[in-house]
A and B are shown apart, each in its own frame.
Chain A
Amino acid sequence: MKQGKKSKHDEKWVHSACAMCIGAPMKVKLRNNKIVEVRGEDIPDWDGKVCGKAISGIGSRIYPPDRILYPLKRIGRGDKSKLVRCSWEEVINAVALKLKKYIDAGHPEYFEIWWGCPYQQDNVNFIHYWTAVLRSGISYLHGQVCFGDHAVEKTVTFGPNHASNLIFGVTDWLRTKYAVIAGQNFPGTANNAGGSCPVVFWKLINKAKENGCKFIIVDPKLQDSTPWSHEWVPIKPGSDAAFAISLAKVLIDRKLYDKTFLLQYTNAPQLINKKNGEALRDKNGNYLVWDTRTRSAKPIPKAGEAAGLTLGVGKTFEVAVDGENVSCETAFQIFSKAIGKEKAVSPIPQEKVYEIATELGENRPSAIVFPGMTSGRYPNWFQTLRAYSVVNLLLGNFDQPGGFYFLKNPFNLGMGWPEPPEVPEYREGQRFVPGPWGNLMSDKTIDKAPCYKEPREFHPATQALPWLHFEAIEKGRVRTVISSAENAAVTQTDSRWVEECLKNLDLLIVGDQVPKDIMHMADYVIPEASYLERYHLYFNYFLGSDDKEHSVLFMRSAVIPPQGESKPLSWFLMELAKRVGLGKYFEKLDLEYEWWDKMLKKARLYPNVTARKLIDEGPYSEEHPIVYNLLFRSIATKSGRFEIYSNELAEECYYNAKSRWYHSPYVHPLPKYISIAKPRKENEFYLVCGKATWHQKSATQNDRYLMEDAIEGDCEYTPIYINTERARRLGLVDGDLVEVECIGPTKGEDPCVYHDMAIGNKEKGRVKVTEGLHPETAWIYFASGHKSNLMLHKAQEGIAANWLTPCSVSPYAGGPGKNYSIVKVDKIEEGD
């Protein structure tokens, strides 16, 4: 492709990136400066391809008929209010006035920026820098809903050096023989190749399938892409931990675990006090193991060493500590005993559990269990993730052929923040701690303060603590919010409560290209430049179908000017900074090239790789051979090993009398199944919300191309799905109008429920009966039932899940129980 060279038809191809789900390097064809076509870059494994979302993004976010091209302000009050066109000057003045007022009063934190999608978003690093300078609040609200609790669990179990690869379950697919995927529309919405776009992943798993890998999907719903797999195993919502523990039990009972791996790399041999369940330590604080050669306890050796260690199956060890003999068992033994006593009945028939566990065990280490990202999200999710991780540890499948793979060649890009003397000093008096996407945040921010107090309330790997922001608005501690590339009005649980909170704001400013729910409450709507009208450096690290590890850098460049009066959010924020007298921190910044060049310098790629070259010449791509070596980095857990028994949970939470979570089963150092509230009557169901392959996030929710087949096709988007037999017993048939009322869980039913304003909320929907659904489940697609009358009429049909979902949170991990809803479904007459 010749860059920048115009054809006789005034056509040219330029390099940029897709932002419609996970960023992907993409070529854009311009004709008379208008985007007419997109294709994937000609690099492995895109090979010129993009998916339907990338193609539809041009029509739905760049040139849609309802593109927001001018700033809008709300006039009037209540139902009679409306948004009318105004000038940028008017918006900037109004917002700057508030900001100045808060700063002068010593409360810049009253002003917050909420961001959601790192790909649809303008420069995420700049936004964090801006809030660091202005000392205002910031929150990556979506991050916690998406993967924050995964990040916590993986950090707790595997340590921060190994966690990131495991969140999305990067797998050595070309050698995998057996894969059990739970809680997800697999492969449609999966990303288990690495941080890559679906085009890469689908190509890879098709090869895995050709190689003979068998895929088993465990989910309440036979989802739209699930039939690609070999088998669907339905599961009762919220019972994944019981399933995982049942698998572990079979693996242990049948000795199908990898003893060598457990002894070398995990704390399975660690000694635990039999009496109180706490880890045994010597006077120097070392965790202990039993050495069979000396018949005595010794400090746990570093990962990789196993000589003399034992799993201590069926054994008790007497260890002298401070002159007293303490009866101990290994972590492996107490886990084995605990699951032996587990009262939870497997949610899947025992013979099926046996079959799956046997396949896993016999194919280890080329077999994996992945917990998914969507359907299983309840307050017990953290322990569910722990249980799945322990199954994988039993299989010994980390950095082994066909198992999970740790990508070893990411670029160390940093965050590009300008430092003095380039800008005046801005860090004074602030303590910065790690934030999302490699950024830093003040430890005083709402998301970070609970994670850095003693003892911690939430783990520092949480991405955000969304409910605390809404509570802060209620209490007047947050008064103005800019919401960009996120849609808290429907994407956060207990949306009615969220909406009530938002009403207390002095100002709500919403930026985007197209209408979305939260605009319905906005005081100002700002027309943000789209992803193809501004600049951002992105990276992808993945395993390719060529059996190599790939590290790719690419620039999302402005291929066309911002449409109408739209501007990047960064421009708006810099204008605000100028008005409040802080312009000196921003005046010399070049957000198009230099910001990214600074990151490339940190990665030691500059000047071979520059932002300009990435735009002119296309992506920078490195290939590396696959290397299995899980000790490529030290295991940074408390024991220095992957932890079946979590020393962090034990010391920080479960056995810490000062902890908010003292003796809470949700933070027990061994994975546990914790039951959730249940539907009790014939017309009561778990309401579960899932994502479609072609339409899975806010960016696609007002999309004509993607909505069309979803609504009109045979995999309809807007109905509420009910199991055929249950529907028959309730006298429901396809197309029946039903009222769906949230009846639980209440605060009284579950201590993890923080807000239950959703109780009593009612939505209407049409029934679709299906055989492909667990009978206790009523199922809807994510992001149907939109509340904004600005959006496509069809997008407003159906049921909005978060209006029927109370706000529940998993202790310590901060995971939102985004599927934790019990509903009552009743047929109503047309017109009711």
Chain B
Amino acid sequence: MARFGMVIDLNKCVRCRTCYVACKKEHNILAFPKDEMHPYEYYRLRYVEWEQGSYPMVRRSFIPIQCVQCDDPICIRFCPVDAIMLREGLIKIDRNRCNGCGVCTNICPYGALYIDRDGKADGCDFCAERLDAGLVPVCVEMCSGGARIFGDLDSPDSKISKTVKSASAKSLVIKSQVNRRIFYIPSPNETDWDELEFHEGFKNAMDRRKRDLPPVRGIL
């Protein structure tokens, strides 16, 4: 059984938002600028972006974020109705069980899950239905800059394995969540990647997104 993973090379990412749009279209995720009728955000994939430094020595960091497929997913541990499980090592949400309570969306340190228009939790599963059909995730297929590499991490000859073995590929660790499926290649001036979760700009960007999630509705 393949152990699928992804590398996102931030040096190649031109920030075109193609992966965001392709993901929304592929999974028929509601696209509508927030208003009274649609007060929350709907996404499997999103971006956090923030500034570092001061004028004129300033840089803008940018990270596409989706479910990083934690080794021991906190969302599974805390789901009150056991609607989240691992299928071949990847997160799977049972929509019949999910009651849309919002615990998982609020507890995920990556802000990677959301409540969809039907009131169910949803998040990136590497386009499971496409994987079943022998295709790569749509964000990988459509990435204009060729910044996303996808494949079997256990296959030593795969491009992704070789890339991950390079010192430049790093996982994004937040609140000690171990994840070994999604890796990033930061730009050379992103020197504090390993401390990212403590960076004020990153934290603010993540917190801002949390405010766009519906509140937890209670356990049942």
Contact = CB atoms under 8 A, between A and B. Distances in A.
A177 to B, nearest CB: 18
B22 interface: yes
A794 B33 contact: yes
A225 B208 contact: no
Interface stretch (B68-76, B101-109, B138-146, B191-199): B138-146
Which among A232, A723, A772 has the highest number of chain B CB atoms within 10 Å? A772
A234 B58 CA distance: 10
A713 B46 contact: yes
A725 B34 contact: no
B119 to A, nearest CB: 20
Interface residues of B, number: 46
B17 interface: yes
B142 A709 contact: no
Interface string A186-215: 011000000000110011001001000000
Given A202-B16, A202-B144, A707-B33, A209 B55 contact: no
A13 B61 CA distance: 39
B82 interface: no
Given A202-B16, A206-B12, A714 B146 contact: no
Q: Which of B16, B19, B24 gathers most chain A CB within 10 Å?
A: B16
Contacts of B147: 206
Interface residues of A, number: 53
Contacts of A724: 54-55
Interface string B15-34: 11111111011000001111
B16 A55 contact: no
| A48, A713, A724 interface centre (most CB from chain B within 10 Å) | A713
A515 to B, nearest CB: 15
B134 interface: no
Interface in A745-790: 770-773, 775
B56 interface: yes
A225 B10 CA distance: 12
A385 B90 CA distance: 54
Contacts of B33: 704, 707-708, 711-712, 792-795
B21 A234 contact: no
Contacts of A198: 16, 144
B53 interface: yes
A225 B22 contact: no
B132 interface: no
A707 B20 CA distance: 12
Contacts of A49: 141-144
B144 A713 contact: no
A174 interface: no
Contact of B55 (A51, A188, A234): A234
A733 to B, nearest CB: 14
A206 B17 contact: no
A577 B62 CA distance: 54
A714 B11 contact: no
B31 A59 contact: yes
30 contacts: A48-B141, A51-B16, A53-B21, A188-B15, A188-B16, A199-B144, A206-B12, A206-B145, A206-B146, A206-B147, A209-B11, A209-B12, A222-B60, A224-B60, A227-B60, A228-B13, A228-B14, A228-B15, A234-B56, A704-B32, A705-B31, A709-B46, A711-B34, A715-B15, A725-B55, A771-B53, A772-B58, A773-B55, A792-B33, A793-B33
Interface of B: 11-22, 24-25, 31-35, 41, 46-51, 53-56, 58-62, 141-147, 187, 205, 208, 212
Given A55-B25, A694-B18, 13 more contacts: A50-B142, A52-B18, A52-B22, A55-B22, A206-B14, A222-B59, A224-B15, A693-B14, A694-B16, A694-B17, A712-B212, A771-B55, A772-B60
